[in-house]
Structure 1
């Protein structure tokens, strides 16, 4: 039975609304709790599901994760999966996009569809090459950066991509 939430006035939890996400954000083996906390809050505010692929680099009850996510965890659809194959079997997204500095396609040139899954790698190493190789070039996307820079912060990258995808859908469900 779901725990009673400390919901803010006028808000409802993901459980109460029978959550059906427009997009799936997938964090493959995330390492830094505050990034994941920020992404929980982002997913709650955009109506997206968050999928955490084990092993995690932190305890899910880490105080830094709670602090970054504030009280948004109860408003977000957050699921944990033992590995990526389990995620694919349980969720079966119609399309998945690997987000990487090694991506072939710029993120803003893609037409996103409801149900798309955006897969992000661990903060210190990104997605394994084998995972990238599983997808066609047009589903390996990147965010442009100035030359000589290694990468963007994970939670910032998720926000940029998620808001572009949501914008393409007229910010469906947003106020």
Structure 2
């Protein structure tokens, strides 16, 4: 198994089932899962383990106390960060994702904080929703769709 290149970042996730399901996807695709505190749950909760089934122990997991500590310790290049919000300026289908991309998602109820998105408007993407009756999509579903799109662009088709 090779070291993960794509990194999925969850900023202050609130729902253990989503984090568990995303962790399971990360194991399946050999991705690193980066969690930024605070969480709305404990990683020891049964709900996280249940959604991740028995794969949670295999998650390549990194945790940071704050967004700033993540930036300070990881120093991700601006061009390798892709942010996902309901009202992003461009579609998830627009970029050619870098091999070492950081795919950044906010918490379920509020999305990403304005201070994280400040000056990053050109890096913010959205998943199309064609029916205006739907206000938002499930975080685990969106993260999975984005990861597969990023992988598709990296594989050339």
Equivalent residue number for residue 138 of structure 1: 122
CA distance in 1, matches of 2:116, 2:146: 19
So what's the TM-score if we normalise by structure 1? 0.82
Alpha-carbon deviation of 1:73?
1.9
CA drift at 1:90: 2.1
Structure 2 unaligned runs (5+)?
none
| Counterparts of 2:114 and 2:153, CA distance in 1 | 29
Structure in which a larger fraction of residues adopt helix: 2
Matches within 5 A, 1:15-164: 17=1, 20-94=3-77, 95-135=80-120, 137-145=121-129, 146-164=131-149
Unaligned runs of 5+ residues in structure 1 are 1-16
Contact 1:28 1:121 in 2 (8 A): yes
Give the deviation of 1:130 after TM superposition: 2.3
Looking at structure 1, the residues matched to 155 and 116 of structure 2 have their Cα atoms a distance apart, in angstroms, of: 31
Q: Which one has a bigger Cα radius of gyration? A: 1
Shift of 1:75: 2.2
* Aligned residue pair count: 153
Q: CA RMSD in A?
A: 1.5
- Deviation track 1:65-89 (CA, whole Å, cap 9, x = no partner) reads 0000012123221111101111122
Shift of 1:147: 1.8
Which TM-score applies when normalising by structure 2?
0.91
Q: Aligned-pair distance for 1:105?
A: 0.8
Contact 1:26 1:120 in 2 (8 A): yes
